[in-house]
């Protein structure tokens, strides 16, 4: 009936739904991405330095801000997701006077990030970086 290697994540007891987690698994995955990240995107024209601050919001949701070479004032991130390995977020940015949707997606391994940044119709470019040490 059950696979011997299956991990029960939810169960009903007396009609009440319970969700089970591995001890500290949620903390590890959240802390893996929360904090300040220093990223570098390589475009055909230039190398762009970015600072991303990610924070956990309500439930499984994340939020944050991004600052960088062309946006010193900071921009709020939207649609931030992290599944324990893949980090993805979006933000809107004015490029040459036109609004562009920017999507950053990549893999988090320890304190390193490596992926791609997609800037509207301009295409995608490599992006990578590291997480600042926690204080």
The reply to whether 120 falls in a domain is yes
The reply to whether 12 falls in a domain is no
Domain count, the chain: 1
pLDDT of residue 22: 47
Give the β-pairing of 71-76 and 86-95: unpaired
The reply to whether 125 falls in a domain is yes
Percent of residues in the chain assigned helix, strand, coil, to nearest 5: 10, 60, 30
Q: How far from each other are the two terminal CA atoms of the chain, in whole angstroms?
A: 48
| Residue 50: CB atoms within 10 Å | 19
pLDDT per position as a tens digit, 100-126 = 999 999 999 999 999 999 998 889 999
Give the β-pairing of 47-56 and 71-76: unpaired
In terms of residue numbers, what domain contains 86? 30-131
pLDDT per position as a tens digit, 14-64 = 666 666 544 444 444 456 899 999 999 998 889 999 999 999 887 778 999
pLDDT of residue 61: 82
The reply to whether 127 falls in a domain is yes
Longest dimension (CA), the chain: 63
> What value does the mean pLDDT take over residues 77-100?
92
The reply to whether 15 falls in a domain is no
Report how far residue 54's alpha carbon sits from residue 108's, in angstroms, rounded to the nearest whole number.
Answer: 13
The Cα-based distances of 132 to 8, 33, 108, 115 in angstroms read: 35, 11, 13, 18
- Taking 90 as the threshold, does the pLDDT of residue 76 lie above it? yes
The reply to whether 11 falls in a domain is no
The domain that holds 53 is classified in CATH as: 2.40.128.20
Report how far residue 66's alpha carbon sits from residue 51's, in angstroms, rounded to the nearest whole number.
Answer: 6
The reply to whether 19 falls in a domain is no
The reply to whether 84 falls in a domain is yes
């Amino acid at each position: 009936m059950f696979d011997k290697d299956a991990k029960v994540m939810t169960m009903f007891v007396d009609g009440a739904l319970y969700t089970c987690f591995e001890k500290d698994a949620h903390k590890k995955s959240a802390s893996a991405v929360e904090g300040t990240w220093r990223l570098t995107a390589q475009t055909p024209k230039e190398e762009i330095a970015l600072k991303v601050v990610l924070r956990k919001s309500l439930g499984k949701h994340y939020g944050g801000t991004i600052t960088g070479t062309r946006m010193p004032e900071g921009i709020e991130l939207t649609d931030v997701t992290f599944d324990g390995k893949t980090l993805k977020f979006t933000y809107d940015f004015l490029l040459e006077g036109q609004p562009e949707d920017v999507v950053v997606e990549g893999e988090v391994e320890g304190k390193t990030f490596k992926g791609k940044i997609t800037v509207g119709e301009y295409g995608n470019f490599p992006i990578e970086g590291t997480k600042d040490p926690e204080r």
